Amino acid sequence: RRYPTVEIRAETFNGSTHVPVPSDSAFLKALLFELRLIDDHIFVEHRDTCTRINHSSVYSVRTEGGDLWPYACLPLVEETLEPRPPLLTVSGLSQGLALLLGIVDYISPSRKNEAEMSAKIGQLRNLLIQACPLGTPLNTNIRSLNSSFDDIQEMPADENQPAWRSNTYKGKPQVNVCITEKVKCMQYDKRDVVDTWQVYGAVNCKCDIEGSAPNVTLSLNLPTNGPPLQDIVVHHCVTSVDPAMLMSSSAEPLDDSVYNGPYKFPFIPPSDSFNLCYYTSQVPVPPILGCYQLIEEGSQLKITVNLKLHESIKNSFEYCEARIPFFNRGPIAQLEYKVSYGQLDLSREKSLLVWVIGQKFPKSLEVSLTGTVSFGTAGKEHPTDYVCTGNTAYVKLYFRIPDFTLTGCYVDQHSIQIFVPGKPKITASRELISSDYYIWNSKAPAPMVYKTL
């Protein structure tokens, strides 16, 4: 939808510097070009230069008449655009993003059903007339509009309401918090190469609370002698924080002066789900230690994989599997193997072995796989890699451990303070997920960050 009245207001604000919105087809082409969804392999100076780094999902779209900014849904900026105002002062931006999220939430469940998707897209025009009749969103919950066209709650004009809180919630207060830690790992099983691993955490919150500016305080806790959180980055809705918390950096060696809590975050929550903070931590060991050996003997490959779950790790997985790809070769023609635990599957393309370990390691916490593999003639459908040639190969681990974090970080539900009437329902969860978890072939040189002297 386009709103001529809003475009006239934009022209009034900007005068001679006003950039008109082009036709739908021209705008779509310019947008796809800016997002690198067309002409992907062509270098364009203003778009691809290294000096330009996007720090947000707000773009500037170049058109024949000039640059359209800010683009997320092309909101009206009720002030001049030169110099560009801070994004947080543009109230139309948060309202527009909330409306877009409402549209996505309405359409997403029907993505697998084409007929249902078409029907919902056909209804969007009428729903948008209700949700946004004159260019200002009155209700961003498109799903609720579909069930009741009459149930439209106008957004209150509350001067105390922050720009990131685009609408208000009505109902029983509830707070959901989830700590997600991702562990990246590079293991080489070599004396002259140091294994590396990194932990990245994110604390996701969804606060359904009444009021234009409700105050919430959340604390992160660590076990005794747990590794401190570092490189902490907080969401802009956090109202105050101990500066020492933000100074702790993983670039510096750990010592007794490192900030180790308490990690308190007072904030005014946005209406939708958001990440309250991000952090890293220097944990002493990776969750799974591995060794991979691949030796080429004539037309055959001999492989050996050993994995050991560290005793400090919770032995309860949602899933755990090791994938062993074979690059620059034909389909697997012959496979002989022996596994001490779990089961081994061959992919449909016959270029990948999938070792499904399952939801638990055995009591010994160790599993092993040995086998020989021979290949047929290579075709275009089989994977190629310019780095992984010959014996340079890896095993990649995929796992998720619910109700566990590698740092031990957790949220105490009783420590969450919410200054609103009524007793809110509080749900806290946590999880550890693998991310780029590689075990390289110890019998061949592998890509690495650095070698020890």
Cis peptide before 243 (omega within 30 of 0): no
Q: What is the pLDDT of residues 325-348, one digit of tens each?
A: 999 998 999 999 999 999 999 998
If one counts the domains in the chain, the total is 3
- Please state whether the predicted TM-score (pTM) of the whole model is above 0.95: no
Do 321 and 277 lie in one domain? The reply is no
Residue 148 has pLDDT above 60, yes or no: no
CATH number at residue 386: 2.60.40.1170
Name which residue leads in pLDDT, 160 or 221. 221
Opening angle at CA 427, ends 239 and 416, nearest 5: 35
The answer to whether residue 164 sits within a structural domain is no
Do 189 and 337 reside in the same domain of the chain? no
pLDDT, tens only, 416-440: 888 877 788 899 999 999 999 999 9
Looking at every residue in the chain, the average pLDDT score rounds to: 86
Q: What is the share, in percent, of the chain residues with pLDDT greater than 90?
A: 41
Of residues 177 and 224, more confidently modeled: 177
Q: How many Cα neighbours within 13 Å face the side chain of 121?
A: 9
User: For residues 261 and 263, what is the distance between their CA atoms, to the nearest angstrom?
Assistant: 5
Identify the pLDDT of residue 152. Answer: 37
Q: Is 329 part of a structural domain of the chain?
A: yes
Please state which of the ranges 120-129, 138-147, 262-271, 342-351 shows the lowest mean pLDDT: 138-147
In a domain, 154, yes or no: no
Evaluate whether residue 163 is within a structural domain: no
For residues 13 and 124, membership in a common domain is answered with yes
Q: Would you place residue 166 in the very low, low, confident or very high pLDDT band (cuts 50, 70, 90)?
A: low
What's the confidence (pLDDT) of residue 246? 86
Question: Do 56 and 106 sit in the same domain of this protein?
Answer: yes
Whether 221 and 130 map to the same domain: the answer is no
Range of the domain at 380: 288-403
Does 162 map to a domain? no
pLDDT on residue 71: 65
Could you tell me if residue 374 is inside a domain? yes
Q: 267-316, pLDDT tens digit by residue? A: 999 888 899 999 999 999 999 999 999 999 888 999 999 999 999 999 99
pLDDT value at position 262? 82
Q: Do 212 and 241 fall into the same domain?
A: yes
Residue 395: pLDDT over 50: yes
Q: What is the pLDDT of residue 159?
A: 57
**72 token code pair:** 């997320």
